[in-house]
A = this chain, B = another copy of it.
Amino acid sequence: MTPANPTHDHKNLAAAWFEDLRNQICATFETIEDELTGKFADRPAGRFERKAWSRASSPGTDSGGGVMSIMRGRVFEKVGVNISTVHGTFSQELAQTIPGAAADPHFWAAGISLVAHMQNPHVPAVHMNTRHIVTTKAWFGGGADLTPMFPNDQDTSDFHAALRTVCDRHAPNYYRDFKAWCDQYFHLRHRNEPRGVGGIFFDNLDSGDWEADYDFTRDVGLGFLDIYPQLVRRHMNRLWTKDDREHQLIRRGRYVEFNLLYDRGTQFGLKTGGNVEAILMSLPPEVRWP
């Protein structure tokens, strides 16, 4: 049952889940850091560092904030896992483009956003994000997509199978629709190139059953947490060459191009006075445009 205005409990539940998922992901990624036996095993295993930020606001006004978790490790060259819970008022211009905000520009939003850039060029980069947004309407959004430097059918197939399993548990059309949305969204128009091998992407999800949408959103996070570590462990001890690394650094340039030219989260964050350090944590640690 969805109330006309989602209750305080719904907001608390969603925000608490994003924090819980963050904790599970960080713990798993630190365990992977411990397991490395390949190149860089002589370096110390990486650990996440946390940094809280508050949203810029009028003095005396609480408008929320977030916590960045970043790890610069020996498997994960740079991985950011951000959670945030913010509220405020959209600018008049932005309010016209957001569901339910044209008449009343107040909003509440919470989410988790993750981008991992890996040391080993044979380990795919990955992005996962889920969020809950409340205006006079309330909805969920998010997704996960894989960006291998050297795509291979097994990884692509396993990543999609995991997301399909999650989707099929909730609605027969979700995987087909959200995979197509992902392909359309993560596309570099200026190069007519996909960013990676896809995944799922969804937004404005409001089926009328808040609990069901919340469960689906949680399952997307858990599905990601199940499959991505498998792909990391599959490849993280493989050797790589200088040419492999060069290829990786060039492919990362495409990631930067997408995030700065097209990514709606980046544009939204920078336009709403979000935390620049948190928003741009998605940018790779080292990149080449030779």
Contacts and interface: CB of A to CB of B under 8 A. Distances in A.
Contact of A190 (B72, B276, B287): B276
Contact of A286 (B191, B276, B288): B288
A98 interface: no
A260 interface: yes
Interface residues of A toward B: which range? 20 to 34
- Protomer copies: 2
A288 B287 contact: yes
A283 interface: yes
Interface in A234-290: 249, 253, 256-257, 260-261, 270, 276, 279-280, 283-290
B289 A190 contact: no
Nearest to A289: B283
A244 to B, nearest CB: 17
Nearest to A279: B190
Contacts of A270: 189-190, 261
A189 B273 CA distance: 10
Given A260-B260, A261-B270, A253 B288 contact: no
A255 to B, nearest CB: 11
Interface of A: 72, 78, 189-191, 249, 253, 256-257, 260-261, 270, 276, 279-280, 283-290
